[in-house]
């Protein structure tokens, strides 16, 4: 899913394909590593928001890159506002500004 999201947003995918993602054994979520049909029902703005979270903390084998995280949060804010989720869009824009101010 992460590679497809990178491809969709035009981000580089080559470094991600070289590093296999190993599931975290301490993850308490049920069904880690299994397909969940409910994932198809997630709103579109959650994908760039989750990618931005991963870039902001540097998880799942990604290097921490706050400028990419800022851009992804802003894109998630635009998608959330298009989906009429105003408060959530404001939060995403706020997180984007925090990430942008932290990258200096």
pLDDT in tens, the chain (104 residues): 566 666 667 666 555 555 555 655 565 555 555 555 555 556 889 999 999 999 999 888 889 999 999 999 999 999 999 989 999 999 999 999 999 998 76
Residue 72 lies in a domain: yes
Query: CA–CA separation, 16 vs 87, rounded Å?
Result: 32
Q: What counts of helices (H) and strands (E) characterise the chain?
A: 5, 0
Residues spanned by the domain of 8: 1-12+44-104
Domain count, the chain: 1
Residue 29 lies in a domain: no
Residue 31 lies in a domain: no
Residue 34 lies in a domain: no
Q: Is the Cβ–Cβ distance between 51 and 5 less than 8 Å?
A: yes
Residue 1's Cβ-count burial label (10 Å; 0-12, 13-18, 19+) is: exposed
Residue 104's Cβ-count burial label (10 Å; 0-12, 13-18, 19+) is: exposed
Which pLDDT score is estimated for 93?
96
Which pLDDT score is estimated for 52?
94
């Amino acid at each position: 899913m992460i590679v497809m999201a990178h491809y969709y947003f035009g981000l580089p995918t080559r470094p991600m394909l070289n590093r296999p993602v190993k599931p975290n054994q301490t993850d308490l979520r049920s069904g880690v590593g299994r397909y969940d049909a409910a994932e198809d029902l997630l709103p579109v703005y959650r994908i760039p928001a989750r990618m931005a979270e991963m870039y902001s903390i540097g998880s799942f084998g990604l290097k921490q890159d706050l400028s990419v995280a800022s851009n992804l949060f802003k894109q998630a804010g635009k998608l959330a506002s298009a989906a009429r989720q105003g408060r959530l869009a404001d939060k995403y824009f706020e997180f984007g500004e925090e990430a942008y101010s932290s990258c200096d």
